[in-house]
Amino acid sequence: MNNYLKMEFWSISSNEGLARTAAAAFFSELDPTFEELADVRTAVSEAVTNAIVHGYREKMGIIKMECSTDELGLFTVIISDEGCGISDIEQAMQPFFTTARGEERTGMGFAVMQAFMDTVEVDSVPGMGTTVKMTKQASIKYE
């Protein structure tokens, strides 16, 4: 591991932007392409939004974000909450599935994360919370 960041913040919508910006700034040390940087920003935004909207629903809680990089240019971000958890991860990861019925939600959060990151792993226990681990390999630039 080359570098490491850990932060915690309240599950309020304005902190989605904070997490997205912090993760992108941290990833920037690997000198990613503009597209790679945008991918990380989008995926982190989706993961944090899921924790806020679905994990904690109507209550306040803490969201944790850990970022790390290694000497080969691999960026890892882990976003976790201690919210309601997911009873069926496979179903939750299906495009258009959402537990926020009647709200303006598309059910595309996990699909977006998978489209923009190299790997997405989800671990969840109902009543205990959810952890999303994502990785992105920065392009190697030859001089």
pLDDT tens-digit map of 5-29: 999 999 999 999 999 999 999 999 9
What pLDDT does residue 97 have? Answer: 60
What pLDDT does residue 86 have? Answer: 84
- Asked, for residue 142, whether it belongs to a domain, the answer is no
Known catalytic membership, residue 15: no
Amino acid occupying residue 66: E
- Asked, for residue 71, whether it belongs to a domain, the answer is yes
Q: Whole-angstrom Cα distance, residue 68 to residue 59?
A: 29
CB atoms within 10 A of CB 109: 24
Total residues belonging to the chain: 143
CATH of the domain at 21: 3.30.565.10
> Helix (H, G, I), strand (E, B), or coil: what is residue 23?
helix
- Asked, for residue 81, whether it belongs to a domain, the answer is yes
- Asked, for residue 39, whether it belongs to a domain, the answer is yes
The secondary structure element, H or E, covering residue 63 is strand 62-69
- Our count of domains for the chain comes to 1
Contacts of 12 (CB under 8 A, 6+ apart): 52, 60
The pLDDT of residue 142 is above 70: no
The pLDDT of residue 53 is above 70: yes
pTM of the model: 0.88
Range of the domain at 103: 3-137
Measure the CA angle with vertex 104, ends 100 and 110; round to 5°: 60
Known catalytic membership, residue 50: yes
Q: Whole-angstrom Cα distance, residue 143 to residue 55?
A: 45
What's the pLDDT band for 109 if we cut at 50, 70, 90? confident
Q: Which of 15, 16, 36, 50 is catalytic?
A: 50
Q: Whole-angstrom Cα distance, residue 130 to residue 11?
A: 13
What pLDDT does residue 3 have? Answer: 95
What pLDDT does residue 52 have? Answer: 92
Q: Whole-angstrom Cα distance, residue 11 to residue 88?
A: 22
Q: Which of 16, 20, 41, 46 is catalytic?
A: 46
- Asked, for residue 143, whether it belongs to a domain, the answer is no
- Across the chain, which distance is largest between two alpha carbons, in Å? 52
The pLDDT of residue 101 is above 60: no
Q: Which of 3, 105, 121, 143 is catalytic?
A: 105
Known catalytic membership, residue 20: no
